[in-house]
Amino acid sequence: MAFITINEAFICEVCGTENCPAQKTCRNHCKKCLSSKHVDEKFPGDRESQCLGTMKAIDIQVHPKHELVIIHECEKCGKKIKNKKADDDSQETILEIQKRKAESFFR
């Protein structure tokens, strides 16, 4: 599985973007579409899950320290995992997710 090895370059299975290793953090999601893969079971980085479903970013939360947290949901089993935003994550995609979320709220 090349998708989500800890902090190594990988090609996104969802959008095909080449992701190089992150500078300060462990990259576990695509910097372009923010998709991830369900590989962790109990805590981030344990690589215990047998699911391997695609995890789409469904929500963005702002934490008290003004950190952005991406909420990933597994398309296969529905598990939700929180991930810290990486420095070079696509601002465009983040805005899109926030917009989509706001629109569904008012519908």
Site string for Zn ion, 32-71 (x = CB under 5 A): xx-x--x------------x-x------------------
Residue count of the chain, please give it: 107
Looking at the Cβ atoms of 63 and 77, the one nearer to Zn ion is 77
Q: How far apart are CA 34 and CA 75, in angstroms?
A: 14
Q: Applying CB under 5 A, which part among 30-38, 64-72, 80-88, 97-105 lies near Zn ion?
A: 30-38
Binding of Zn ion by 82 (CB under 5 A) = no
User: Contacting Zn ion (CB under 5 A), which of 4, 30, 39, 60?
Assistant: 30
Q: How far apart are CA 30 and CA 4, in angstroms?
A: 9
Looking at the Cβ atoms of 44 and 53, the one nearer to Zn ion is 53
Looking at the Cβ atoms of 1 and 15, the one nearer to Zn ion is 15
Strand ranges (DSSP E) for 1-107?
Answer: 10-11, 18-19, 36-37, 54-62, 68-74, 80-84
The DSSP letter of residue 68 is: E
